[in-house]
Amino acid sequence: MSQNVKKYIYGKSALDYWKVPSIRGNIEPHDIDFPDEYVIFTDKPLYRPDRAIIHTCSISGAEKYVKGQACTLPLIFLQVAQEYTIHELIYLGLQICSYRGGDQPRCTVDELRACAEELRGHRGRRKALRAIRYLANNSRSPMESILYMFLRLPNALGGCGFSEIVLNEKIVLEGGKTYFADLYVPSCKLDIEYDSEEFHSSASALSKDRERTAHLETEGYQVVSVNYAQLNDLKAFQNLARQLSRLIRKRIYIRARKYFENFAALRDLLFKKGLSLRSRFRKIHWREVPRFPGVRTVYRIYLAAWNRLIRHPNLPLVLTRAP
């Protein structure tokens, strides 16, 4: 390879280069070593040494999405899109656009969208654009991202469909106090707080949480606290979702056949089971999902499609009408 040709770190190894948080241990194993991968912006044939994977890209405008030795995060998001499931890709996007105290955001949703819209013909573009529809800026922890996905994603992706939810909204009270809501619903002034055992179990933390809740409720805000057990336990999550449904005034009614496999995929992400490949031939029982209105009716549609998959494994699942 000519010394004059500049190569840039590509794909998953570039995620490590930019130190995207909470990828290992969630959608990638802790101890995995990503292969050395590089991209070169040319359409000419090149010598490819055995010690590294060299990709070529001839899409006009792609060469500007580099910085230093590596591709930038908007381009990396396109590069890895085909290697992750849609839920893993949404989670990755939330972590790319996350914010940690004292750090500047690595990237924004608008930057991801602008790159994906510009680079027509890039492998993974269509899937990336689908994931970007559900992203938000400023997630501050992996569990905030996962809770956001459970509540924000549409039923067809296994979520509750509360599309108005935003992450880490700034709330300024009349007395001058400023708070950030982990998840916030502007229309009903609802603050949904994720209380981790690590940061919210001490006596001082509990006292601060009570004081914070009192200040917010005095000025008309509603505060709901969520912990890991409410996501882990199916009945507890069902009760939480129904409570939020009443407060947001949006009814949960399941109509999507894909709700079953996609809710199971969200649970896999929560339990970090997404690290192992889930077989599409595993049937999801209706008792494995919350008993929301519509679940039993749509389950007949799902079951018919799943039985068809077993008989004809090379054909995709198709939507049929319930008898």
Query: pLDDT tens digit string along 155-200?
Result: 999 999 999 999 999 999 987 889 999 999 999 999 999 988 665 5
Task: Tell which of 137, 160, 183 closes a domain.
Answer: 137
- Count of domains for the chain: 3
In a domain, 2, yes or no: no
Residue 3 in domain: no
Q: Identify whether the C-beta of residue 75 lies closer than 8 Å to the C-beta of residue 55.
A: no
Q: What is the pLDDT of residue 279?
A: 63
What residues contact 110, with CB distance under 8 A and at least 6 apart? none
The CATH number linked to 221 is: 3.40.960.10
Domain assignment present for residue 64? The answer is yes
Beta strands across the sheet bearing 222-226: 166-172, 178-185, 190-194, 222-226
- pLDDT tens-digit series, residues 124-151: 999 999 999 999 999 999 999 999 999 9
Q: Is 22 in the same domain as 130?
A: yes
Residue 182 domain flag: yes
pTM over 0.75: yes
Encoded amino acid at 179, one letter: Y
3-state secondary structure of 193: strand
Greatest Cα pair distance, the chain, in angstroms, is 68
Q: Which residues 6+ apart lie within 8 Å of 289 measured at CB? A: 234, 259, 260, 263, 264, 295
Find where tokens 């995995």 sit. 32
Last residue of a domain, one of 137, 161, 185: 137
pLDDT exceeds cutoff 70 at 79: yes
User: Both 86 and 155 in a single domain?
Assistant: no
Which of 17-21, 190-194, 276-280 is predicted with the least confidence, judged by mean pLDDT? 276-280
Which has the higher per-residue pLDDT, 270 or 207?
A: 270
The reply to whether 319 falls in a domain is no
User: Is residue 298 over pLDDT 60?
Assistant: yes
Same domain, 51 and 123: yes
Does residue 33 sit in the same domain as residue 132?
yes
Do 166 and 195 have their domain in common? yes
Assess contact for 159 and 153: CB atoms under 8 A. yes
Q: Pick from 104, 137, 170: which residue ends a domain?
A: 137
The verdict on 13 and 98 lying in the same domain is yes
Pick from 6, 7, 94, 19: nearest CA to 53: 7
- Residue 137 CA to residue 140 CA, distance in Å, equals 9
Compute the average pLDDT of residues 79-94.
96
Share of the chain above pLDDT 90, in %: 69
User: In which domain, by residue range, is 62 found?
Assistant: 8-137
Q: How many residues does the chain have?
A: 323
Q: Are residues 123 and 33 in the same domain?
A: yes
Question: Do 160 and 115 fall into the same domain?
Answer: no
Would residue 321 count as lying in a domain?
no
| Residue 317: pLDDT band with limits 50, 70, 90 | low
Statement to judge: residues 101 and 180 lie in one domain: no
Domain presence at residue 99: yes
Whether 57 and 88 share a structural domain:
yes
Give me 188's structure tokens. Answer: 């009903």
In the block, which residue shows the tokens 């595993």?
282
The answer to whether residue 1 sits within a structural domain is no
Same-domain check for residues 132 and 148: no
Helices (H), the chain: 11-17, 73-80, 86-96, 109-118, 125-132, 142-152, 197-200, 203-218, 228-232, 234-248, 259-270, 295-311
182, 200: one domain: yes
Confidence of residue 11 (pLDDT cuts 50, 70, 90): very high
